[in-house]
A = this chain, B = another copy of it.
Amino acid sequence: MARITAGVASSHVPLLGVASDFNKDRDDYFGPIFAGYDWTREWEKAEKPDVIILVYNDHASAFDMKIIPTFAIGCGERYKSADEGWGPRAVPDVEGHPDLAWHIAQSLVLDEFDMTIINEMDVDHGLTVPLSMMFGKPDAWPCKVVPLAVNVVTYPPPSGNRCWALGEAVRKAVESFPEDLNVQVWGTGGMSHQLQGPRAGLINKEWDNMFLDGLVGDSDHLRRIPHIEYLRETGSEGIEMVMWLVMRGALGKKTRALHRHYHVPCSNTAIGHMVLRPDNGEGLDMTGSDTVTAIAAE
Contact = CB atoms under 8 A, between A and B. Distances in A.
A119 B67 contact: yes
Nearest to A162: B112
B109 A67 contact: no
Copies in the complex: 2
A57 interface: no
Nearest to A68: B117
A119 to B, nearest CB: 5
A158 B161 CA distance: 20
Interface in A96-118: 106, 109-110, 112-118
A34 interface: no
A162 B115 CA distance: 12
**A116, A156, A161, A162 — most chain B CB neighbours (10 Å):** A116
Given A69-B69, A106-B156, A114 B117 contact: no
Contact of A110 (B68, B113, B156): B156
Contacts of A106: 155-156
A119 B69 contact: no
Contacts of A297: none
A23 interface: no
A109 B117 CA distance: 18
A177 B97 CA distance: 43
A157 B109 CA distance: 7
B67 A117 contact: yes
Contact of A65 (B68, B72, B119, B158): B119
Interface residues of A, number: 30
A154 interface: yes
A68 to B, nearest CB: 4
Contact of A158 (B109, B118, B154): B109
A70 interface: yes
Contacts of A118: 66-68
Contacts of A115: 70, 114
A83 interface: no
B158 A117 contact: no
27 contacts: A65-B119, A66-B118, A66-B119, A66-B120, A67-B117, A68-B119, A69-B114, A69-B116, A70-B115, A70-B116, A71-B114, A106-B155, A106-B156, A109-B156, A109-B157, A109-B158, A110-B159, A112-B158, A112-B159, A112-B161, A112-B162, A114-B114, A114-B115, A114-B116, A114-B162, A116-B116, A117-B154
**9 closest A-B pairs by CB:** A114-B114, A70-B114, A68-B117, A69-B116, A112-B162, A66-B120, A71-B114, A109-B156, A116-B116
